């Protein structure tokens, strides 16, 4: 079984020809029946299909062929830009069709409006009342511009199902052919026959207008992806054969030496091999302060080199870069389905046949009971029912909200990996946060310096810095960095010795310097009794204190701590105000963990937990009926991230953690936890509003149309408005502003 899973591949197809939820549903069912396909997910709003398949059983060609047999077009999406280009072409095409259709339909609408007693003052040219003139105007709309509906309806019926276009074709054809029949049988008569050419033409025009609005709205829903793609550099200045050469970004290969001048975008992910600079990484992390980069530093494509000239080595290109991965996560989330959508899909699948049945029944009731023998009102009622019931709004209700919600979340630095995670996050009532690198910065800093009376503090730090500079220990490096940041000159070391587990010994300016633990001081018989209470106090607050002696005499101490992120306390308070329980979990000792927990306002702390133990602790909380989100940044957090109801990885952490998580918080700011939960709540509320409107609209509209209270063209306008209103409601999510 495991070898089979490893063989699975994923194909991302651009689908053409879909018009409603029934189309997406039919393609999805058709693909899922194909041997070798484990999962097919078709998204109407994005017009794509993500197919997971076993290449030993089925090929991409077979999958495309299956889609084509179902009556639609399909091809592999080559790159991220293609979807944007495709949308722009679709908008242009819909616009052209609508303009031509409107030009031909307006004279017909004019004649219809002129029939009413309250509009008798309107001048209607007599030639427009001629049935044959009306037919000349209506025919191109019905069969040239409207041909797409006939093709789609035929393909749907050929495959044993019905979609929105079946309703459109039935409604408009009934109006058109009845009008042709009336024109023929009354030819040569003096009175004007009852014609419905304007009904068929105006209906098609209104449907095209609705589709134009939808196409534009769908394009706006993908704004997040467009913005992200716009961040990419277009070219790179590479060194090849000793020559500088500017090449397109696509031609960069791993290992290329790339020159990046001040003010330029870094083209791909890589490592600095020469020079130093400050890099603006705000597009990735949200941090406005540029990050210093030196030889060996990791840098990321699309970030901006601020002030220094650097040479870098390309380590990740194309789809492997950090930005490309972010774009992929956003696309996957927008293309995935939330569980709530399955209800809408099921209803859409059976909706059209039911509507056809209701329309036929309406026609029979009218012609037999309501207006016996009168064909005209019965036909009008049938057409109105067919048109108003088109389930466009139903099909768009969920995917447009997911597109807009996940896109806005991405702009806020929150990457949902799928629609199901976007839906589930709203249920979270317990958040478990890792300490190191999540609540804290993850890197130790020099926090305290205490010196004995009579000792010069600057000289003391110069001795300490010189001694620790020779050590590779992270705490030693933190001390050196803290001293250098104060602008203190570090002395030259004559001798150096690292004492593993205890500290260091050095000779500087013929003075013996010893720095380390109390055990090391005892070993060198240095009296430290008078500073023990201070040391314990520092340790109680979560700091690591190191004692120092000069020539056998105690001289002072320095303390180092993994400092708390500036935003952690405020972020935890936000969660607690929302009624969410916050627990801190760490592998660190109990004393240090409780000190950090107290500083940020976390009451419950679980300390000294091994990586596998973190997953067990999460399971214990779930056993109590809690919906748990685990937030972490390291490899040791991966098991717990995978087990939790929702795993949130800090974007500044490891790739393993991000792979195991359901949500990536790019900015490394704990405020993003509350933001993610709020975005989930707002998106799900938006989806429910859309579904309520779509279901309510059809439930209310069908009986009104059946009762004869809606003219067919009014039903068409209402149907178009319902789809547009659902999309516009979803787009409100793109304007959400969250508390900071």
**Which residues are tagged catalytic?**
434
Of the candidates 353, 308, 408, the one whose C-alpha atom is nearest the C-alpha of residue 683 is: 408
H helix or E strand, kind and range, residue 738:
none
C-alpha span between 631 and 571 (Å, rounded):
13
C-alpha span between 490 and 507 (Å, rounded):
13
What contacts 314, CB < 8 A, 6 or more positions away?
Answer: 252, 253, 254, 255, 256, 258, 267, 268, 269, 270
C-alpha span between 577 and 571 (Å, rounded):
10
C-alpha span between 269 and 261 (Å, rounded):
16
C-alpha span between 708 and 380 (Å, rounded):
7
Of the candidates 528, 529, 553, the one whose C-alpha atom is nearest the C-alpha of residue 454 is: 553
Of the candidates 523, 512, 520, 519, the one whose C-alpha atom is nearest the C-alpha of residue 553 is: 512
DSSP structure string for 639-696: HHHHHSSEEEEETTS-HHHHHH-SEEETT--THHHHHHHHHHHHHHHHHHHHHHHHHH
Residue ranges of alpha helices (H) inside 366-450 are 375-388, 392-411, 419-424
What contacts 159, CB < 8 A, 6 or more positions away?
Answer: 26, 30, 70, 71
Residue indicated by tokens 């110069």: 462
Say if CB 124 and CB 114 are below 8 A apart.
yes
Of the candidates 179, 77, 68, 69, the one whose C-alpha atom is nearest the C-alpha of residue 130 is: 179
Rg over alpha carbons for the chain, rounded to the nearest Å, is 35
Side-chain half-sphere CA neighbours of 73 within 13 A: 8
H helix or E strand, kind and range, residue 219:
helix 197-221
Give the pair of three-digit tokens for residue 13.
């197809």
- What is the distance of C-alpha 527 from the center of its chain? 60
What contacts 188, CB < 8 A, 6 or more positions away?
Answer: none
DSSP structure string for 594-611: HHHHHHHT--EEE-S--H
Phi, psi of 370 (to 5 degrees): -70, -50
Side-chain half-sphere CA neighbours of 463 within 13 A: 28
C-alpha span between 515 and 462 (Å, rounded):
13
Of the candidates 144, 163, 522, the one whose C-alpha atom is nearest the C-alpha of residue 351 is: 163
- What is the distance of C-alpha 220 from the center of its chain? 14
What contacts 496, CB < 8 A, 6 or more positions away?
Answer: 467, 470, 504, 505, 506, 507
Say if CB 739 and CB 574 are below 8 A apart.
yes
Give the pair of three-digit tokens for residue 481.
């960095």
Of the candidates 730, 725, 731, the one whose C-alpha atom is nearest the C-alpha of residue 693 is: 725
């Amino acid at each position: 079984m495991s070898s089979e899973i490893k063989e699975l591949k994923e194909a991302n197809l651009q689908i053409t020809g879909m018009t409603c939820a029934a189309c997406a549903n039919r393609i999805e069912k058709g693909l899922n029946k194909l041997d070798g396909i484990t999962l097919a997910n078709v998204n109407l709003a994005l017009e794509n299909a993500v197919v997971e398949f076993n290449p030993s059983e089925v090929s991409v060609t077979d999958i495309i062929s299956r889609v084509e047999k179902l009556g639609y077009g399909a091809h592999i999406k080559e790159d991220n830009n293609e979807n944007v280009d495709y949308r722009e072409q679709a908008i242009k095409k819909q616009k052209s069709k609508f303009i031509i259709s409107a030009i031909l339909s307006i004279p017909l609408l004019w004649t219809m409006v002129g029939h009413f007693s309250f509009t008798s003052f309107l001048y209607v040219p007599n030639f427009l009342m001629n049935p044959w003139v009306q037919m000349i105007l209506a025919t191109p709309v019905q069969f040239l511009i409207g041909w797409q509906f006939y093709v789609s309806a035929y393909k749907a019926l050929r495959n044993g199902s019905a979609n929105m276009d079946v309703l459109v074709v039935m409604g408009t054809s009934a109006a058109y052919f009845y009008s042709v029949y009336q024109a023929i049988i009354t030819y040569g008569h003096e009175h004007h026959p009852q014609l419905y050419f304007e009904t068929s033409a105006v209906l098609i025009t209104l449907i095209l207008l609705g589709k134009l609005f939808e196409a534009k709205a769908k394009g706006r829903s993908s704004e997040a992806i467009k913005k992200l793609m716009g961040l990419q550099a277009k070219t790179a200045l590479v060194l090849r054969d000793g020559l500088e050469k500017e090449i397109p970004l696509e031609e960069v290969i791993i290992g290329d030496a790339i020159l990046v001048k001040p003010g330029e975008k870094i083209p791909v992910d890589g490592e600095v091999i020469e020079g130093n600079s400050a890099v603006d990484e705000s597009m990735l992390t949200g941090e406005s302060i540029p990050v210093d980069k030196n030889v060996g530093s990791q840098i990321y494509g699309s970030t901006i080199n601020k002030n220094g000239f650097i040479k870098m080595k390309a380590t990740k290109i194309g789809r492997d870069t950090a930005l490309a991965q972010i774009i992929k996560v956003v696309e996957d989330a927008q293309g995935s389905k939330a569980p709530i959508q399955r209800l809408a899909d099921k209803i859409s699948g059976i909706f059209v046949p039911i509507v056809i049945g209701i329309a036929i029944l309406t026609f029979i009731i009218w012609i037999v009971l309501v207006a016996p023998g009168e064909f005209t009102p019965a036909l009008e009622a049938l057409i109105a029912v067919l048109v108003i019931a088109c389930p466009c709004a139903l099909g768009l209700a969920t995917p447009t909200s997911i597109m807009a919600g996940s896109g806005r979340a991405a702009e806020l630095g929150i990457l949902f990996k799928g629609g199901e995670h976007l839906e589930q996050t709203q249920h979270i009532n317990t958040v478990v946060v890792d300490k190191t690198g999540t609540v804290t910065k993850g890197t130790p800093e020099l926090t305290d310096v205490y010196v004995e009376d009579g000792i010069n503090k600057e000289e003391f730090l110069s001795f300490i810095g010189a001694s620790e500079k020779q050590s590779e220990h992270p705490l030693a490096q933190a001390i050196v960095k803290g001293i250098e940041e104060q602008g203190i000159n570090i002395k030259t070391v004559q001798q150096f010795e690292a004492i593993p587990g205890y500290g260091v010994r050095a000779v500087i300016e013929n003075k013996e310097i010893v720095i380390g633990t109390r055990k090391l001081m005892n070993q060198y018989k240095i009296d430290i009794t008078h500073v023990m209470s201070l040391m314990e106090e520092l340790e109680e607050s979560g700091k690591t204190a190191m004692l120092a002696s000069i020539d056998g005499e105690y001289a002072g101490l320095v303390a180092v701590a993994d400092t708390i992120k500036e935003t952690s306390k405020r972020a935890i308070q936000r969660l607690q105000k929302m009624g969410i329980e916050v627990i801190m979990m760490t592998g660190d000792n109990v004393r240090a963990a409780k000190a950090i927990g107290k500083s940020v306002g976390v009451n419950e702390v679980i300390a000294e937990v091994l990586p596998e133990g973190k997953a067990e602790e999460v399971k214990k909380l779930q056993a109590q009926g809690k919906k748990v989100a685990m937030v972490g940044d390291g490899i040791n957090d991966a098991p717990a991230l995978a087990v939790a109801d929702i795993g949130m990885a800090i974007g500044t952490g490891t790739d393993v953690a991000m792979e195991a998580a359901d949500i990536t918080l790019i900015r490394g700011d704990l405020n993003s936890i509350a933001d993610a939960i709020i975005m989930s709540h707002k998106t799900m509320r938006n989806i429910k509003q859309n579904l309520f409107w779509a279901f309510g609209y059809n439930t209310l509209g069908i009986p009104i149309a059946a009762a004869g209270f809606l003219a067919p063209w009014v039903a068409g306008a209402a149907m178009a408005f319902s789809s547009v209103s659902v999309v516009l409601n979803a787009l409100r999510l793109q304007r959400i502003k969250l508390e900071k």
